[in-house]
Structure 1
Amino acid sequence: MGTRAAAFTAKIRNLTDYHLRLLHGVVPPPSGIDIANTLKYFSQTLLGLLRDIQARPLDMLHHRAQDSERLALFPNLDYLGLHQALVALVDVMPLIQSGTQGFGQALLNTLACLVVFLERQVIDTLPYLIASMMTAVPEPLHQQLITTLCYYILPVTVGAAVEEGEEENYATASVPAVLMMVFQYTDNSAYHCELLESLMALKPDIVKDLLCVIAFGTPSSRPPAANLLFYYWPSLNPTLYDRRGIHIKFSAGHNS
């Protein structure tokens, strides 16, 4: 266990070193592939830990009341330190000169693997963190980013069962910002629909978040939000509509 913990911590230091070299313009800068190779160590290690556990921590992740029980299943590794290193790398992602796509893919994979090992307050920040990557990831990674959000992150944050009397958490409060960033940084209406329909299944009052984007969002995020509102309102039920032609409909509205 000590050897594994030491190796885990050493790899986090490698990520921190990459971050500092990028931040301060040290020559030669690390490439995205260099960082991706280190990130693959973490995704493989975390998946290996999950395979060794007999319980079902992924199921527990959907219930906030089971967080203590879930966290007690895992060996004592610096999961928070890894998360902090990943956040720092997201901040310097625009400074990576080559291998950005490989880096972005490895980063999304690592975040998806890490979520089950984190404390709830940290998990609730992940929707905003991943949506913020839309500002820097290459367009070919937009689909993976949306998939990560919709199928790995939002169901266990916005969709996690809350305890009685619990106030609004960071994940649900960040939904308007998540919508705004996705609407702003991709014109692909299929991604807009996929994100919104995922949220519709998790958040009954999602229309309020759409209205928030329409009222206070950036100029480029408002038209997609309005198009989605008019398309799905009043029922906001994705099963009632034939999705054929959505792309043309929304693109026309966006370009008008």
Structure 2
Amino acid sequence: MGTRSAAFSAKIRSLRELQTKISQTGLQSVNQTGPNQPGMDLSNSYRWFSTTLLSILRDVPKLPYQMIRNRDKDEERLSLFPNLDYKDLYDTLYDFIPDMQYVTNPDKCGKNLLILFASLLPFMDRTTIEDFPYNMTELIDVLPLELCEDAVDVLCDNLLPFILVSGDTEGRGNDYVPAMLQTVMYKAPQDTVIHRKLVECIMTYKVDVHIDLLHVIAYGPTSAKIPAVNLIFFYWPTLNPTPADRKDIVDRFQTSSSWAPPFCTNTNCEANEPVQARKMCLDHSIPLNQRSDFPPPALYCLDCADKVEQKRPKSESPIFEDLNVPISFIDTKCENKNCRSTEKMGVVTCLSSECTLYNSHRPIRYCEQCHRIRHNERRGTSNHVFQRNVPVPWEMESEDRKTCLSRTSLQVHVHVTDNV
């Protein structure tokens, strides 16, 4: 173990030296020939580290991706891994982010860096895990525009489902959501596909996302405000005062394509053509025994997930979670087919799989009565993640109330822009 640890640390030192060389040479030449520093060695180094980490992870027992969501299991989770300098590697990568601009092949190098960050997640301590959203925000800011979609895919598929934990009042990962949204919208203001994928991912794991969007609207640059305004009116349709306004915003989004669900990543999938993934696999060993070049979790179609489940003892805990499909429309009325309320106006949108199951894996709207019936301690569903209607300002906390003052100009933004 000592030899392995020493070799790993030596590789980190070599990586740090390579990054320092690129940074220094880039700073010297930035006023001469521009940022044109070689990046092939750097890209290969990132790839070596991600391959090494995934080979270590493949042989780890238990389910570290389930354990990440519970801070009480951090000590047990970290004890599963060999004693290597994972945090030093992470710090080395993070320190170089501002100087990524000096790399000549930022596309390939950036992709390998994104994969490496995703591979590092299960090896990190709690503080570092909670800093991931902010650090990824900084990385997105310096990556080429062409990699913005790749970065959002890594966030939505590999990182945020394990960092944004509903009900975790001690965590600070949620605090970085407005900055993350603002950076993506500012980086690619016209790309509604990645805007919607990111927002819907966050809505699945975090409550009160309207507050995060209001922060972007209140404090962000104009190019980020405009997409945020359209998104908040789309996902919270009761903000639109008339049916004509609601139709206007829906029509705007329907003229552009929504994000596409990922395809099944099972290399042994028997489908004749690519099939949409409907399940997320939390057992890291299953996909890593098939391919060791991309980090978990694996995303499986229904048939592949069923075949894996059939081979597992029924006494073992489930390893698959349902994935929601993209949102094409948010209704203003209750969507519960058994609703008996006389007041059908929707007050919450539930994104938890136990409820979306009744709506073809799409988020479902509930009226006040159905919301109280579906979400309570007796049914064990009070921990569901749902998005409430935006309250009136005087019912908000003081800081959120200040942010909500920006709503007075929302309609103006919506009617003067076509950027959706």
Distance 1:46 1:94 in 2: 26
CA-to-aligned-CA distance 1:26-49 (integer Å, 9 cap, x gap) = 789852221011111111111111
Summarize the Cα distance change of 1:235–1:255 in structure 2 as closer, same or farther, 3 Å threshold: closer
Tell me what 2:41 maps to: 34
Native 8 Å contact 2:121 2:129 kept in 1 = yes
Once residues 78 and 87 of structure 2 are traced to their aligned partners in structure 1, the CA distance between those partners, rounded to angstroms, is: 12
Equivalent residue for 1:176?
178
Code of the aligned partner of 1:59: Q
Tell whether 2:79 aligns with 1:72.
yes
Post-superposition offset of 1:170: 2.4
Give the aligned partner of residue 216 of structure 2: 213
Residue pair 1:61, 1:160 contacting (<8 A) in 2 also: no
Comparing both structures, which one devotes a greater share of its residues to strand? 2
CA distance in 2 between partners of 1:182 and 1:159 (Å): 21
Equivalent-residue separation in structure 1 for 2:232 and 2:75 (angstroms): 39
Look up the match of 1:105.
111
Q: Distance in 1 between matches of 2:97 and 2:204?
A: 28
Task: Give 3-state SS (helix, strand or coil) of 2:205's partner.
Answer: coil
Match of 2:55 among 48, 59, 71: 48
**Equivalent residue, structure 2, for 1:142:** 148
2 CA distance for matches of 1:199 and 1:11? 35
Given that 1:18 and 1:30 are in contact with CA atoms closer than 8 Å, whether structure 2 keeps it comes out as no
1:1-256 equivalences under 5 Å are 1-25=1-25, 31-96=38-103, 98-159=104-165, 162=168, 166-167=169-170, 169-186=171-188, 187-234=190-237, 244-247=254-257, 253-255=417-419
Give aligned pairs, total.
245
In 2, are the aligned partners of 1:19 and 1:88 still within 8 Å (CA)?
no
Where structure 1 has 5 or more consecutive residues not aligned to the other structure, the ranges are: none
Matched residue SS, 2:229: helix
SS in 2 for 1:109: helix
Question: Which structure has more RCO (C-alpha within 8 Å, separation ≥ 6)?
Answer: 1
Give yes or no for contact 2:148–2:184 (8 Å, CA) kept in 1: no
Distance 1:19 1:160, change over 3 A: farther
Instruction: Point out where structure 2 has 5 or more consecutive residues left out of the alignment.
Output: 30-35, 240-249, 259-413
Q: 1:108 to 1:254 in 2, by over 3 A?
A: farther
Q: Deviation at 1:70?
A: 0.4
Cα-to-partner distance string for 1:4-57 (whole Å, 9 max, x where unaligned): 211211111122112211222278985222101111111111111111112111
Q: Give the aligned residue type for 1:181.
A: T
8 Å Cα contact 1:32-1:103 kept in structure 2: yes
Aligned identity (percent) is 36
TM-score, normalised to structure 1, is 0.88
In structure 2, the CA distance between the partners of 1:13 and 1:235, relative to structure 1 (3 Å rule), is: farther
Root-mean-square deviation (Å): 2.5
**Larger helix fraction of residues:** 1
Q: 1:40–1:224: structure 2 CA closer, same or farther, 3 Å change rule?
A: same
The whole-number CA distance in structure 2 between the counterparts of 1:197 and 1:82 is 31
**Aligned partners of 2:148 and 2:187 also within 8 Å:** no
TM normalised by structure 2 equals: 0.55
- Paired with 2:173 and 2:228, the residues of 1 have a C-alpha distance of 19
C-alpha contact (below 8 Å) 1:100/1:138 kept by paired residues? yes
In the alignment, the residues of structure 2 paired with residue 66 and residue 122 of structure 1 have an alpha-carbon distance, to the nearest angstrom, of 15
In structure 2, what is the Cα distance between the partners aligned to 1:254 and 1:129?
31
Could you say which structure has the larger radius of gyration? 2
Q: Cα–Cα, structure 1 residues 93 and 133, in superposed 2: closer, same or farther, change >3 Å?
A: same
